[in-house]
Structures are given as C-alpha cells and as structure tokens.
Amino acid sequence: MTDSEKAFEKEPIDAVVAWVDGTDPKHLQKRIQYSNSLSRAPIPGAESTRFHSFNEVTYCVLSILKFAPFINKIYIVTDDQNPKIDAVIKQFFPERFNDIRRVDHLEIFEGYEELLPTFNSIAISSMLWRIKGLANQFVYFNDDIFCIRPLVPEVWFKKGRPVLRGQWHFPPFERLLWDGIKRFFGQKKIAASFQIHQWRAAQLFRFQWRYFRSGHTPLPMRRDHLENFYTQHPELLASNISSRFRTYEQFNTVALSSHLEIRNGNKNRSAINAVYMQPHHRGVEYVNKKFNKCLHSSAVYFLCIQSLDQASQAEQEKVKEYLDKIFKN
C-alpha cells in the first residue's frame, strides 16, 4: 500500500441522513401551498408517501451507531425540523450524542435561499457536499435504509475511493419511448423514474449506451470530488436545484458521483448486499420472511423499508417489533 493509500485509510468517514416529517402540520402546509401554486394537477414527485415519517430516522441512526461504529459524525439534513431522537440516543449510545448534528436546508442552500423551501430530494442531495465540517469521505442514507449487521470501513471505501454498489444497464429505452408517446398526446407532467435520473447523470460523462445503476443502499461519495465538479460546472448545479419538486430533466447526484468515479478509474465494485421490503398489504408473513433473510444471510448488509405508511397496522407493528429487537438490544 502506498503512502497516499495509507493516508486515505486514516481519513474519517461521516454519514449524512436525509429526513423529513411530512406529517408535521407546518411542513405539510408549505408543501400544499407550493404544489398548489404550480398546478391544479398532481405534481410528479409530490406524492404524500414520499414525505411520511414513522420515525424511521431513529432506527437509521441507531443502525449506524450499532453496526458501523467507525462512522465519525452523523449529519441529519432537514427542513426546519427536529427529529425526536435525543432520548433514544442518550439511552443506547450516550457517548455518541455529540457526534450527531442537525443540518438545516438553509446551511446547504446558502447563497441559494430563494430556492427554499424545497421538497425535491434530488436538489437536496445535490447540495450535501456543502455541509460545514463534512468529511471528504461520507455515506449518504435515506431515512428508510438501515445497516443490519456489523460492518467495516471497506464496505464503503477502499484506498480512498467509494465502493460502487450496482450493475451496468442499457439505457431505459422503453421508458423513454412511453414518455415520448405521453408527450405526443399532450401529457405535460411526466414523473421520471430513478433509472431516468441515473441515466441522465451518466450522459454527463458520455456514457451513451450503458449506465451504472446504483441500488437503494447507503451510498458512499467523496465531498471534494463533488465540490470540484460543481465548481467547474455551476450551471449544472443551478439547473439541478432550481425546482421545488422533482422534475423529469434532473440528474441523480449519487449517479453523477459514481460515473465520475468510473471515468477517473475507480474499479471498486460490489453486489447490492441489500434486502428491499415494501410491506403494504402483503401480510405479516411477508415481513417475517424478509427479516429472516436479513438476520440469517451474511451477504445482507442493508435493509430498505419503503412506503411503510401504506402498510396495515399489523404489518407496521411487526416491522417495529423487528427493528426494536435488532437495534435496541
């Protein structure tokens, strides 16, 4: 290992968690106000399920502290809200209480305050590198993603470079075709998929016939690489953060980071190592099956639970029972 690689191994790794409580009356009123000002029709990317919170952020942070204790600082990025996690952290990890900091959108959008409030997760993720004090190596979590077993730094960074979890895919031609047909017949607002946004990022680096599609897992990035790119291309940053809600034309910053790494010779690759769960109306046995896979497969590092707000009460209670058992024991 070279001296520079040894230096990278000693660099701290931070975690950044994006969180919103869409049931907060103040936040809900803002979202309704701005969505109504744009259109009477439903706005793609403004669906209420995207903003619901079942206190997943508490379990997300607990999972990092329990299974990735090498993480240096945890930043929770939010819009003038306070996640109610203090009591739980003091109970289970009192020595780490001061390592967790809330970051308001005002901090990362400094100089772009006219774009606030924003309800656009792509715009927010485009600005994470502007968190004050953020380590060069950081891992981006959505609040519905959890570490599920003991991890080591090399899960996310090897020799100072992010480990890219995903697979190469052909461009989403079928989706693009159908979207073109919708436009032809007059549909103006079209919701772009996760795949479209990632493919748009790949195109910035002239990956025309394939793109590296990341999974919905904790995603490692380098702050200095993003800062350098956006400093050199301020027009791309300005365009990507300009809309309060997600748009078809945006690109995914995580995918931008991945393709920038690939273009610069990064060969760190890995399987997804994640279990995805969408428990709404699939029954308690479905929840049991998914958690059993998490608990008994050493290849599973992460768990993602989506649309929990749409699950039945029995399904929600079973999920919470498992999460309490894993993270509070």
Q: When comparing pLDDT for 22 and 15, which is higher?
A: 15
pLDDT in the model for residue 50: 45
Virtual CA dihedral for 202, 205, 208, 212, nearest 10 degrees?
Answer: -40
Q: Which domains does the chain have, with CATH numbers?
A: 3-272 (3.90.550), 273-329 (no CATH)
**What average pLDDT score do residues 199-227 get?**
95
Long-range CB contacts (< 8 A, 24+ apart) of 262-271? 262/164, 262/205, 262/212, 263/205, 264/225, 266/161, 266/162, 266/164, 268/158, 268/159, 268/161, 268/162, 268/163, 268/164, 269/163, 269/164, 269/165, 270/155, 270/163, 270/164, 270/165, 271/165, 271/299
Closest by alpha carbon to 195, among 209, 207, 212? 212
pLDDT in the model for residue 41: 47
H or E element at residue 158:
strand 157-158
When the pLDDT of each residue in the chain is averaged and rounded to a whole number, the result is 90
pLDDT in the model for residue 4: 53
pLDDT over 80 at 209, yes or no:
yes
Please report, as a single letter, which amino acid is at residue 254. Answer: V
**What average pLDDT score do residues 286-304 get?**
96
Asked whether 245 and 140 are in contact (CB, 8 A), the reply is no
Going by pLDDT thresholds of 50, 70 and 90, the confidence category of residue 40 is: very low
**What average pLDDT score do residues 96-125 get?**
97
Going by pLDDT thresholds of 50, 70 and 90, the confidence category of residue 53 is: low
CA pair distance 292, 285, nearest whole angstrom: 10
- Three-state DSSP class for 188? coil
Q: Model confidence over 138-187: pLDDT tens digits?
A: 999 999 999 999 999 999 999 999 999 999 999 887 877 877 787 777 87
